[in-house]
Structure 1
């Protein structure tokens, strides 16, 4: 046991590495281990991966629960350790979403410019706002919703991947590392390393299936890994500060939807100005909008995640 933790740092690290490797490795289990025939369609292929990701998440939660010395039968406390809570939901959804959207101020400004240009084009072509045009727009919107609801990539990008990744790389790993005696900022920097390593399999897929040259594949994956490290640090920060799994989950879904922030556009220099303003606002509001008191009724005069320093009293962790 470590002096500052109830789980040794070695055990915490090995467990996190094992969960990261297992999260990726199980994706190939149907064909490599179970020797199942290749899926007949892309949709079947993705559904297999969805099931594998769900199994990996469940087993990671089970492993963490076995390692963490939580001696209570109250499900509310057990789930609370992993940030799975039913209280302060609207705060965990709205506040992190507003904070994250500041990073996309340039992107939103550009989208508004494109929407305005499209509206002007329709107006110049003689189109007028009428009941029929509104009905047509509504019908197109409903058709779009129907199309994306049956799109397996939409389910992967906005449901399965964010949910399973946040469960494994935030809910399971962060409590282990905190209990292992790692400092908070070390955890914020360490978790994204595991998170980015879980995306290395994309290099093999891009290099082999998309016939990229090795240098191009390295550049593409390198950019992706840098982005996952930055986002992973932010998601870990949200989880530690709020103690709520929904906070990084909402940010994850939103970032997947928006993609990389737009820093510059030839259409208008104000896009860059808007991005800078949003970025400065993000930095200014980062700590105030993630204050633990906004997401918890009681923090016992403690600024750490979920009153981490008082966990030993609330869930009866044996002291060493």
Structure 2
């Protein structure tokens, strides 16, 4: 089965085919490995347990990056992306393209980030309500409080986990890698809409 023509801009580009069962198996393997690799430092590498939450999450950041890179390489190999001469066409297979870049990257990333936006909204609400309190301290404006909160958030490892690392790696694995595999496997768009959450649940 051929890859949809929207992935390739040149009519003479080779269109890789992939059996449907192989596409499903590859997506399932990526979903399972996305979680399994998080336990690699202690189970496979026999590293000592982390001494702090920051060290623990730093390890997980590295593991998530490794899993995402492995998924990209696996997808590129299965779809024979290396045979595409033009880099822009190769990136288009993963949904990264110059045309409609907002729809292809920013909007899906934003939608995924909304899943983790609860803590952000709660802190912002707490910040807004604290401005009206009379606690005997020097009155600080909302803008200054917001600036202090942003500086604290930048150094907070949980903020990086919830708002940066998790959304980017999940978008890369569960959307950029799995969707082209399923499309090349002959699945219809509506089927992929229902299949993608199933694979995402395997990784949770």
Give the TM-score, by structure 2 length.
0.75
The number of aligned residues is: 177
- Partners in 1 of 2:175 and 2:101 — Cα distance? 18
* 1:153 has 2:165 as partner: no
- Report the aligned-residue RMSD: 3.3
Contact 1:24 1:198 in 2 (8 A): yes
Contact 1:169 1:195 in 2 (8 A): yes
Cα separation, partners in 2 of 1:48 and 1:94, compared to 1, 3 Å: closer
Which structure is richer in relative contact order (CA contacts within 8 A, separation 6 or more)?
2
Q: In the TM superposition, what whole-angstrom CA distance separates every residue of 1:20-76 from its partner, at most 9, and x where no partner exists?
A: 111000000000000000011100100100010001001100000000144312111
Cα separation, partners in 2 of 1:72 and 1:51, compared to 1, 3 Å: same
Task: Tell me the SS of whatever aligns to 2:141.
Answer: helix
* 1:173 has 2:184 as partner: no
> Where in structure 2 are the equivalents of 1:101-180 lying within 5 Å?
122=132, 136-180=141-185
Cα separation, partners in 2 of 1:90 and 1:171, compared to 1, 3 Å: closer
1:182 is displaced (CA, Å) by 1.0
Q: In the TM superposition, what whole-angstrom CA distance separates every residue of 1:197-246 from its partner, at most 9, and x where no partner exists?
A: 111xxxxxxxxxxxxxxxxxxxxxxxxxxxxxxxxxxxxxxxxxxxxxxx
Task: Say which of 22, 27, 52 aligns to 1:41.
Answer: 52
> Where in structure 2 are the equivalents of 1:54-93 lying within 5 Å?
54-70=65-81, 71-90=83-102
- Partners in 1 of 2:39 and 2:109 — Cα distance? 34
Cα separation, partners in 2 of 1:48 and 1:14, compared to 1, 3 Å: same
Greater alpha carbon shift after TM alignment, 67-76 vs 44-53 = 67-76
> Where in structure 2 are the equivalents of 1:1-320 lying within 5 Å?
6-70=17-81, 71-90=83-102, 122=132, 136-199=141-204
- Give ranges in structure 1 of 5+ residues lacking alignment: 126-131, 200-320
Instruction: Look at both structures and tell me which one has the larger radius of gyration over its CA atoms.
Output: 1
- Give ranges in structure 2 of 5+ residues lacking alignment: 5-15
Contact 2:174 2:200 in 1 (8 A): yes
1:91 is displaced (CA, Å) by 5.5
Aligned position for 2:10:
none
Task: Tell me the SS of whatever aligns to 1:20.
Answer: helix
Contact 2:38 2:60 in 1 (8 A): yes
Cα separation, partners in 2 of 1:34 and 1:94, compared to 1, 3 Å: closer
